[in-house]
Structures are given as structure tokens and as C-alpha cells.
Amino acid sequence: MWTPTTRRQHSRAGLRYETDLTDAEWAVIAPLMPEPAPCGSPPVWTTREVLNAIFYVLRGGIAWRLIP
């Protein structure tokens, strides 16, 4: 049941998008993510930002004309 306490705990306020991961959600997922490869150039985007983008597209879809 939603109580004022659980509403605050699961609030999405303060995020750029509703699909972005909260710090608590990221703390659960981060240990499961692989480390970047030691060779090659450093990654441009963090793993968290990549997951945020994936969740954004999954939630809102993507226009057919935007698919390459």
C-alpha cells in the first residue's frame, strides 16, 4: 500500500526523466555491470547513462523514421 513514507522512498522527483535510475537502484545494478575493457579508448558514456538511455527508449519507444 502506498503510504507517505513509501511515496518518498520511490519518488522519481529530481531525475531528468522518469526512466532514469535512482541512486538506490544503481547501487543494486552497478556490481552486476562489467568493467570497461583495459585496451582501447576510454568510454565516452558511463554505464549508468547507457542504461538510462535504454530504459528511456523501452518506455517511450522510438519513431520509425529515427531508426537507422
Bigger pLDDT: 28 vs 9: 28
SS (H, E, C) the chain: CCCHHHHHHCCCCCCCCCCCCCHHHHHHHHHHCCCCCCCCCCCCCCHHHHHHHHHHHHHHCCCHHHCC
What is the average pLDDT across 13-35?
A: 89
pLDDT of residue 68: 58
Stated pTM of the model:
0.75
Which of the four pLDDT bands, split at 50, 70 and 90, describes residue 48? very high
- Is 63 a residue whose pLDDT tops 80? no
